[in-house]
Amino acid sequence: MLLTGKKIIAKHIVDNVGPKSVRAVSYDLRIGTILARQGGLDVISTNAYDLPPQGMVEVIALEKLTLPHNVMGQATVKTSLSDRCVLALGIGLIDPGYDSYISSTLVNFGTQPFRMSHGDIFLRATFHEYDLSGETVKEVHTDFEEYLQDKREKVLTRFSRTFLNLDQTARDAFNVLRNRLLAISAWAALIVATSTAIGSLGILLLGTRWLPPVGSSEVEELRSTNAKLQSEYNEAEKELSDIRQAQKDLLLKLEYQNRKK
């Protein structure tokens, strides 16, 4: 059975209730603490933050949730965040017997910074009462300091400075392309030399019709050398084609990133 907002409060499921957060059949969770990656080994804890495009932060709810053994919850993202291209990750079911805080990783997929502040609504929670029927419920109790430390460690060890780290990806791709481009001149020289050698061998083999006969072993050696040079020429052509394709792919990625900015 879906609990109404009044029943959610009556069952003391939500601690530190915000009167404007109580809805007809849900409760709107508010921003309590914002954890953001800053610098190499620094995590800031703040009450207000401008989430940049592609940025990501961990947000801990202001409310503490205490679920009875016969009540389960579900946290979903607010439509107002989705409308502004902000996605909430790591949310879903809240198990019966849970007694602690909840949080979500917010990612800005938009082109403009997203301003968030202490007390802003960011998640909607609904609660369902069900028949326990003798099932054993495992209780989970975590105080705020322990929960905060766990989330700080998450931000420090798992967060990149931007979602998917596109800036670093573009730099890595550029370095790969640069290294390949440096090899183009060498490959081009090899292709020219190979083409010249193949032409010379062709003339040499053609000349055997008018030159005095040579042994069959010499002819076979020349043909083997010709085949080897032709194979190296084909490999060089393929490598050059791959380099050109990689250059096109990188230019498309950079153009897409510039359009987003």
Total count of domains within the chain: 2
Does residue 128 sit in the same domain as residue 252?
Answer: no
Q: How confident is the model at residue 72 (pLDDT cuts 50, 70, 90)?
A: very high
- Please give the Cα distance from 93 to 102 (Å, whole number): 11
Domain co-membership, 117 together with 223: no
Chosen domain end from 161, 195, 224: 161
Look up the CATH number of the domain holding residue 127. 2.70.40.10
* Residue 96 sits in the same domain as residue 211: no
Tokens coding 211: 């030159």
pLDDT, tens only, 159-217: 875 555 555 555 555 565 556 655 665 656 666 566 666 666 555 555 555 445 555 67
User: Domain of 198?
Assistant: 166-260
**Residue 140 shares a structural domain with residue 208:** no
Question: Can you give the pLDDT at residue 157?
Answer: 87
Q: Are residues 148 and 132 in the same domain?
A: yes
Q: Whose CA is closest to 105, among 123, 80, 118? A: 123
Q: Are residues 154 and 238 in the same domain?
A: no
What percentage of residues in the chain have a pLDDT greater than 90?
50
pLDDT digits (tens, 9 = 90+) for 7-64: 999 999 999 999 999 999 999 999 999 999 876 556 888 889 999 998 999 999 999 9
Q: Which two tokens stand for residue 1?
A: 């059975």
Average pLDDT over all residues of the chain: 81
Same domain, 149 and 21: yes
CA-closest candidate to residue 69, choices 133, 10, 119, 115: 133
